[in-house]
Amino acid sequence: MNLRALTRHSGRRPLKDQALEGRQFSTRALTAFLLILAAIFLLSLRYVYLQIVSFDEFTARSINNQVRIVPVAPNRGLIYDRRGRPVAENLPAHRLELVPEKVDDLQATIAALGRIVELPEDVIEKFEENRKRYNVFDSVPLKFNLSEEEVARFAVDRHRFTGVEVVSYLARYYPYGDLLTHVLGYVGRLDVDDLNRVDQGNYRGTTHIGKSGIERFYEDRLHGISGVEKIETNSQGRILTTLERGNPVHGDDLILSLDVQVQQAAWDALADRPGAVVAIDPNDGSVLAMVSKPAYDPNLFVHGISSKDYRDILNAPGRPLFNRTLLGGYEPGSTLKPFVGLAGLESGLITAESTVFSTGQYFLPGVSRPYRDWKKGGHGTVNILGALEQSVNTYFYQLAYDMGIDRMHDYLSLFGFGAPTDLDLLGEGSGVLPSRGWKRAYYAEPWYPGETIIAGIGQGFNVVTPIQLANALVVLANGGTRFEPRLLYAAKHAGNEQAEKVRAPVARQVPVVDPANWDLVRTGMWRVVHGPRGTARSIKPEAGYEIAGKSGTAQVAAQALDEDMDESTATHLRHHALFIAYAPYDSPSIVVAVVVEHGGGGSREAAPVARAVIDAWLSQGPDQ
């Protein structure tokens, strides 16, 4: 197009023709108006598409936007001791939660929150791990157990944190702290492993779960049934109103057979020595006390233990996390003698009149090395009563030799040695009750006669746990009934008036050949405390009731099987002191097993602990 030509041409043009221009304009204006109508028509079609065609879809999305179904966690059942003292409670607390979907910049938000509330690295890690099991629109707990100041500080700055909220909840609290840790265990933050063993639907709103102890074993009963809430929220996720509510059913309240006062007595009696005490009522198999020392404060675990606290517990002397009552494997030592003696009597190998002459040394035929008595020069001639009262090894060497290891194994297994007691806690050890078959299976070695001899005094391969030892004595004390011990005494279901009593199941009824044999062994044990030469006569009660008991000494390691077995040469570092007892002698209501690690002599160190526990139990009136 020739620009200059056109410009020149225009210069030659006459005046504007307004009428022509007006017509031209009107055409253009009309064109424009028609285009506008077309545009509005298309736009209207868009609105028809959104509002009529897609109406259902957008209505659903609009409802989804505002209404949210939120799970409501049930309140966890409370736990009491047998006299109604609360041992696990729920206390009001505050936690910080956030909805990842509503938070623009999670990192920045967490950093900003860190200036208001304390947010250590492991709390943030836990949060990151945890949020995987939530939907993006769910509220995910960030920090538990906020302090009053933290709650107040957040309230001031709350407007800065869209999608972040302080939520009140009930936090588990263990008023007795480390005293009951090894029984109750503790609850902790729910993690992926926990979820695999529970009904996930019922745990949608739950943040804590029983990690160990009673809390873990009775998780099903304690947890309760989750409820749901239909709530209306605004775009920030703030709850405006609750539209519907399906109430949760709170967990069962549990009453334990444990008596805090007896537990405390055992705790105090152990003082700062590592050890274990188990007390059981021989009439019903209910556990009265269960102490493992040292212990730790379970409350530290409830809100997510800091790595420093956890390190401190791990590195503390005496392994506080280790539950000695269930997992501690000890040589029973002389505490096994009453059971071996009963085995001899019931099998007819010995009678009340059978005697053995103790010279202080016992020789196996053809073996020059002696098996010793603890008393230099020996005890002279003793029958079963004297053998028990003075703990005469020679008597039991001879008995074991006559009996043989397999018969001893078969009889002692009736009392539950070598197998878990199946009480209501997880992770129990089984101990070792040796036999030829056992040794073949574990060591692929034949059985040697010398091993039978020391098995007769509870040494060598024998390993018992404190709960096992106590439970075996229950059988002896009640005349033949072995229970699966129970810590749970009664449970109260939500809505029920009365608590339902729980009975310890009978594991085995031990056959009684002659009750006189049993009385004989019990008398022997009575003489341990009340006889003139009893090894534990120092704990004899002045008046009121009588105790039957038996002391024992356990070697820490099995390296000295054939030598150095006599108690007088025991070194403090190598020997654990054991004592088992029941009382009152004529109608037993408590059986106690005590282990004091590195305590030395069983009578001197462990027996007073048993006495303290028995006193604590018998000094109380009947329960409830």
Cα gap 178→298, rounded to integer Å? 6
Q: Strand 575-583 vs strand 548-555: parallel, antiparallel, or unpaired?
A: antiparallel
Binder to other proteins among 147, 235, 307, 509 (CB under 8 A)?
A: 235
Q: Which residues ranging from 34 to 93 are in contact with other proteins (CB under 8 A)? A: 36-37, 39-40, 43-44, 46-48, 50-52, 54-55, 57-59, 61-63, 65-66
Is the Cβ of residue 137 or residue 448 nearer to other proteins in the bound state? 137
* Residue 330: partners with Cβ closer than 8 Å, 6 or more residues away: 463, 464, 465, 466, 554, 576, 578, 595
* Shortest distance in whole angstroms from residue 53 CB to other proteins: 9
* Axis-axis angle for helices 393-403, 405-414 (nearest 10): 100
* Axis-axis angle for helices 260-270, 607-618 (nearest 10): 160
* Shortest distance in whole angstroms from residue 105 CB to other proteins: 10
Does residue number 147 form part of the binding site for other proteins (CB under 8 A)?
no
Is the Cβ of residue 51 or residue 247 nearer to other proteins in the bound state? 51
DSSP 8-state assignment for residue 256? E
* Residue 449: partners with Cβ closer than 8 Å, 6 or more residues away: 364, 401
Binder to other proteins among 25, 357, 442, 443 (CB under 8 A)?
A: 25
Is the Cβ of residue 56 or residue 353 nearer to other proteins in the bound state? 56
Q: Strand 253-256 vs strand 590-596: parallel, antiparallel, or unpaired?
A: unpaired
Contact segment (CB under 8 A) with other proteins among 115-123, 231-239, 402-410, 476-484 equals 231-239
Q: Is residue 349 classed exposed, middle or buried when 0-12, 13-18 and 19+ CB atoms within 10 A define those classes?
A: middle
* Residue 535: partners with Cβ closer than 8 Å, 6 or more residues away: 389, 390, 391, 528, 551, 602, 603
**Residue 83 CB coordination number (10 Å):** 14
Binder to other proteins among 91, 111, 155, 240 (CB under 8 A)?
A: 240
Binder to other proteins among 38, 69, 91, 101 (CB under 8 A)?
A: 101
Q: Which residues ranging from 284 to 323 are in contact with other proteins (CB under 8 A)? A: none
* Shortest distance in whole angstroms from residue 159 CB to other proteins: 14
* Shortest distance in whole angstroms from residue 203 CB to other proteins: 27
Which of these, 176, 202, 175, 173, lies nearest to 190 by C-alpha position? 202
* Shortest distance in whole angstroms from residue 6 CB to other proteins: 5
* Residue 611: partners with Cβ closer than 8 Å, 6 or more residues away: 539, 541, 547, 581
Does residue number 232 form part of the binding site for other proteins (CB under 8 A)?
yes
* Shortest distance in whole angstroms from residue 99 CB to other proteins: 11
Query: Could you give the C-alpha distances from 520 to 338, 354, 451, 517, 554, in angstroms and in order?
Result: 10, 12, 27, 5, 25
Contact segment (CB under 8 A) with other proteins among 99-107, 291-299, 323-331, 490-498 equals 99-107
* Axis-axis angle for helices 405-414, 436-443 (nearest 10): 100
Contacts with other proteins: how many residues (CB under 8 A)? Answer: 48
Q: How far apart are the first and last CA of the chain?
A: 113
Contact segment (CB under 8 A) with other proteins among 30-38, 140-148, 340-348, 410-418 equals 30-38
Does residue number 160 form part of the binding site for other proteins (CB under 8 A)?
no
Cα gap 543→547, rounded to integer Å? 11
DSSP 8-state assignment for residue 593? E
Binder to other proteins among 123, 218, 233, 585 (CB under 8 A)?
A: 233
* Shortest distance in whole angstroms from residue 137 CB to other proteins: 10
Residues with a catalytic annotation lie at: 334
* Positions that interact with other proteins (CB under 8 A): 1, 3, 6-7, 10, 13, 16, 18, 21-22, 24-26, 28-29, 32-33, 36-37, 39-40, 43-44, 46-48, 50-52, 54-55, 57-59, 61-63, 65-66, 101-102, 104, 232-236, 240
